[in-house]
C-alpha cells in the first residue's frame, strides 16, 4: 500500500507538501476542507490553490467533493506521503522493501537505511472492522477527528510508551522515530512465538514473564493484549521482544490488574497447549517470579 506514497514523494515540491500538511491540520475541523479556507491559509488565490490540489488529486493523495461546496480531504496515500517525507528528513532510508505483516490495526514494512541497517516501519490503519471490534470492547481512541488523525494519535501513543519501556530496559524493538501514523523501529531478527519451535520452552516462558513484570514494575505499564502473537523470538539465541503495545494501560488503571492477569494467563495457556507443560508448573513459576519482583 505504500507504493503510492513512494512513487509520489519524489514528484512533490514544497508547495505540495505545504498543502498536504494544511489539509491534515484542518481534518479536526472539517471532513472536507473548503477551497476558500485552504486558499486563505496558503495565502493564494483560489485558482492557484485549485491547480495545486488538482495535481495532488491526480496522484491520489487527496479527494474532493463538489456537492454543497467545493472541499478536499487527505487520503491514506496522502498521509503515507506526509509521514515518509518527515521520516526521510529524520533518517536516511534507502528503500522500503515489502510488507511483512498485516495486523488488526497496522501494516508492518521492512526497510533499509542508507548505512545498510534494517528497520521496521509500523503504519497504523485504524478503522478496519477488526479494530472497530477491539475499540468497542475497550475504547481508547476517540473518532470525532476521523481515522487518519486517530491513527496518528495511536502511533504517537505507542512510540511514547516504547521509548519509556526501552529506557527502563524492557525487551522491545528500539523506537527510532515517529511521523504521523508511522513508527520507525530497529529490525528484530525473529518471528512470532506461535510460529517457533523452542528447544528450551521453560526458559523462554521465564524470560517473557520477567520482561512483562519489568514493564509493570519499572515502567508501570501493562501490555493488556499479550499473547503468543505479539512476542517475537530469535530461535537460535532465544532472545525475545514484546511488540504491539497499542492497548497498554498504566499500572494504576482500575482494570490494570485484571489485564495483567489475562496477559499472564494467555502465555501460560500457550506454553501448556503447545509444549505440554503442566499448568501447575507454569503457574508456580509465574507466582514465584511475581513474588521475586515484589508484586503481590
Q: Is 16 left (phi over 0), alpha (psi -120 to 50) or beta?
A: alpha
**C-alpha cell of residue 121:** 516501519
Q: From CA 156, how far away is CA 140, in angstroms rounded?
A: 13
Strands of the sheet with 240-242, listed across from one edge: 191-192, 231-233, 240-242
Q: Is the dihedral of CA 17, 19, 20, 25 positive or negative?
A: positive
* 278 Cβ neighbours under 8 A, 6+ residues apart: 272
**C-alpha cell of residue 187:** 529490525
Question: Among all chains, which residue has been given the C-alpha cell 521496521?
Answer: 120
Task: Tell me if residue 225 is catalytic.
Answer: yes
Q: From CA 289, how far away is CA 255, in angstroms rounded?
A: 21
User: Which residues does residue 118 pair with via DSSP β-bridges, in sequence order?
Assistant: 112
* 89 Cβ neighbours under 8 A, 6+ residues apart: none
Query: Exactly one of 80, 107, 225, 244 is catalytic; which is it?
Result: 225
* 105 contacts 246 by C-beta, under 8 angstroms: yes
Axis-axis angle for helices 76-90, 147-167 (nearest 10) = 30
Residue 105 three-state SS? coil
Alpha helices in the chain (DSSP H): 3-9, 14-25, 35-42, 46-58, 76-90, 129-137, 147-167, 201-218, 256-275, 279-292
**Catalytic residue positions, numbered:** 225
Amino acid at each position: 500500500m505504500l507504493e503510492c506514497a513512494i512513487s509520489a514523494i519524489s514528484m512533490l515540491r514544497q508547495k505540495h507538501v505545504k498543502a498536504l500538511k494544511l489539509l491534515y491540520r484542518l481534518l479536526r475541523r472539517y471532513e472536507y476542507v473548503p477551497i476558500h479556507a485552504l486558499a486563505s491559509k496558503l495565502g493564494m488565490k483560489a485558482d492557484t490553490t485549485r491547480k495545486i490540489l488538482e495535481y495532488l488529486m491526480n496522484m491520489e493523495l487527496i479527494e474532493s467533493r463538489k456537492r454543497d461546496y467545493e472541499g478536499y480531504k487527505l487520503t491514506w496515500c496522502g498521509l503515507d506521503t506526509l509521514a515518509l517525507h518527515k521520516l526521510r528528513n529524520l533518517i536516511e532510508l534507502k528503500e522500503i522493501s515489502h510488507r511483512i505483516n498485516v495486523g488488526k490495526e497496522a501494516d508492518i514494512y521492512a526497510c533499509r537505511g542508507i548505512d545498510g541497517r534494517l528497520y521496521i516501519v509500523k503504519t497504523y490503519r485504524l478503522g478496519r472492522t477488526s479494530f472497530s471490534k477491539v475499540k468497542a470492547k475497550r475504547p481508547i481512541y476517540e473518532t470525532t477527528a476521523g481515522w487518519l488523525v486517530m491513527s496518528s494519535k495511536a502511533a504517537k501513543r505507542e512510540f511514547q510508551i516504547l521509548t519509556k519501556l526501552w529506557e527502563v530496559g524492557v525487551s522491545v524493538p528500539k523506537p527510532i522515530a515517529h511521523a504521523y501514523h508511522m513508527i520507525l523501529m530497529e529490525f528484530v531478527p525473529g518471528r512470532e512465538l506461535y510460529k517457533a519451535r523452542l528447544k528450551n520452552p521453560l526458559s523462554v516462558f521465564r524470560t517473557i514473564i520477567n520482561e512483562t513484570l519489568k514493564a509493570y514494575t519499572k515502567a508501570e505499564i501493562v501490555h493488556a493484549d499479550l499473547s503468543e502473537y505479539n512476542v517475537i523470538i530469535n530461535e537460535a539465541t532465544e532472545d525475545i521482544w514484546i511488540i504491539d503495545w497499542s492497548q497498554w494501560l498504566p499500572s494504576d488503571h482500575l482494570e490494570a490488574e485484571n489485564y495483567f492477569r489475562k496477559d499472564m494467563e494467555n502465555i501460560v495457556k500457550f506454553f501448556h497447549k503447545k509444549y505440554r507443560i503442566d499448568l501447575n508448573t507454569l503457574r508456580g513459576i509465574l507466582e514465584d517470579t511475581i513474588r521475586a519482583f515484589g508484586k503481590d
